[in-house]
């Protein structure tokens, strides 16, 4: 079973969207990695619309842009 088989594609998108929304609203700390469940995501926000979330534990990352 792969890291993300516990989620459907829609569920994973929803989880990442929820984390992204919290980051845009200033809550960038303490988000657990939805891929490995072990790491705490390093989240950065640029220009209030661009978000990068990266797990130092498993190395997976996600870049998103609102707007």
Q: Give the length of the chain.
A: 67
Rounded-to-integer distance, Cα 8 and Cα 57, Å: 22
- Residue 24 DSSP one-character state: H
pLDDT in tens, 14-53: 888 899 889 989 999 999 998 899 999 999 999 878 999 9
- C-beta of residue 31 within 8 angstroms of C-beta of residue 19: yes
Q: pTM to 2 decimals?
A: 0.75
- CA-to-CA distance for 10 and 24, rounded, in angstroms? 21
> Residue 62: which of 2, 40, 51 has the closest Cα?
51
Question: Domains in the chain and their CATH numbers?
Answer: 9-65 (2.20.25)
């Amino acid at each position: 079973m792969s890291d993300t088989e516990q989620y459907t594609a829609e569920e994973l998108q929803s989880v990442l969207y929820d984390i992204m929304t919290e980051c845009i609203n200033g809550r960038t700390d303490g988000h657990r990695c939805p891929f490995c469940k072990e790491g705490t995501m390093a989240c950065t926000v640029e220009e209030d619309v661009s978000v990068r979330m990266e797990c130092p534990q498993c190395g997976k990352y996600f870049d998103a842009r609102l707007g």
